[in-house]
């Protein structure tokens, strides 16, 4: 396994539509997924899309750590979705404070669907499908956006909520 270099905002791979994975069973895809999971965990990310590691492929890895689970939900261990499809469930929206490994240290508030249905393949080519809500839905939508060349900054509606994480988290006393 190896840690992969993460593309940062400004690199063209992050703003182009990724290509479908043709051979799910290839050793190259298995190695890529393994390296992406190691990179995601080492970087303390919740997800990582192939374009973020300079591979224009429609796949991403993600997990939902216990500290991000809502009451009654279970953590989701690292997994992959290959050639995913994400479909909103209903019209309910939620505001999510997001960061991205391709935009280190920055955070912004982004509107997302509160619930989504997802479908894709695992490394064995088996169809995986389900529904996600809350943080799980947020991660899936964020990573899916990467496959379509969309960074979360492109979805921010109020840039007063965008900035460096340590500055946004620290309330400042007014000066003057």
Q: Is 17 a catalytic residue?
A: no
Rounded CA separation 141/152 (Å): 10
- Choosing from 143, 157, 173, 175, the catalytic residue is 143
- What does the DSSP assignment read for 22-59? S-TT-HHHHHHHHHHHHHHHHTT-SEEEGGGGT--BSE
- Which residues are CB-neighbours of 149 under 8 A, at least 6 positions away? 14, 15, 16, 17, 18, 51
Catalytic residues: 143
């Amino acid at each position: 396994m190896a840690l992969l270099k993460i593309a940062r905002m400004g690199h063209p791979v992050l703003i182009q539509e990724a290509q479908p994975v043709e051979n799910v069973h290839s050793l190259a895809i298995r190695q890529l997924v393994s390296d992406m999971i190691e990179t995601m965990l080492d970087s303390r990310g919740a997800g990582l899309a192939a374009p973020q590691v300079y591979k224009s492929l429609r796949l991403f890895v993600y997990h939902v750590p216990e500290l991000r689970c809502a009451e009654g939900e279970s953590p989701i261990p690292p997994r992959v979705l290959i050639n995913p499809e994400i479909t909103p469930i209903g019209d309910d929206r939620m505001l999510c404070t997001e960061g991205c490994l391709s935009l280190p240290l920055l955070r912004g508030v982004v509107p997302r669907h509160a619930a989504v249905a997802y479908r894709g393949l695992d490394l064995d080519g088996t169809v995986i499908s389900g529904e996600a809500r809350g943080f799980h839905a947020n991660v899936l939508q964020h990573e899916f956006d990467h496959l379509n060349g969309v960074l979360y900054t492109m979805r921010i509606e109020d840039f007063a909520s965008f900035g460096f994480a340590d500055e946004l988290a620290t309330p400042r006393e007014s000066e003057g």
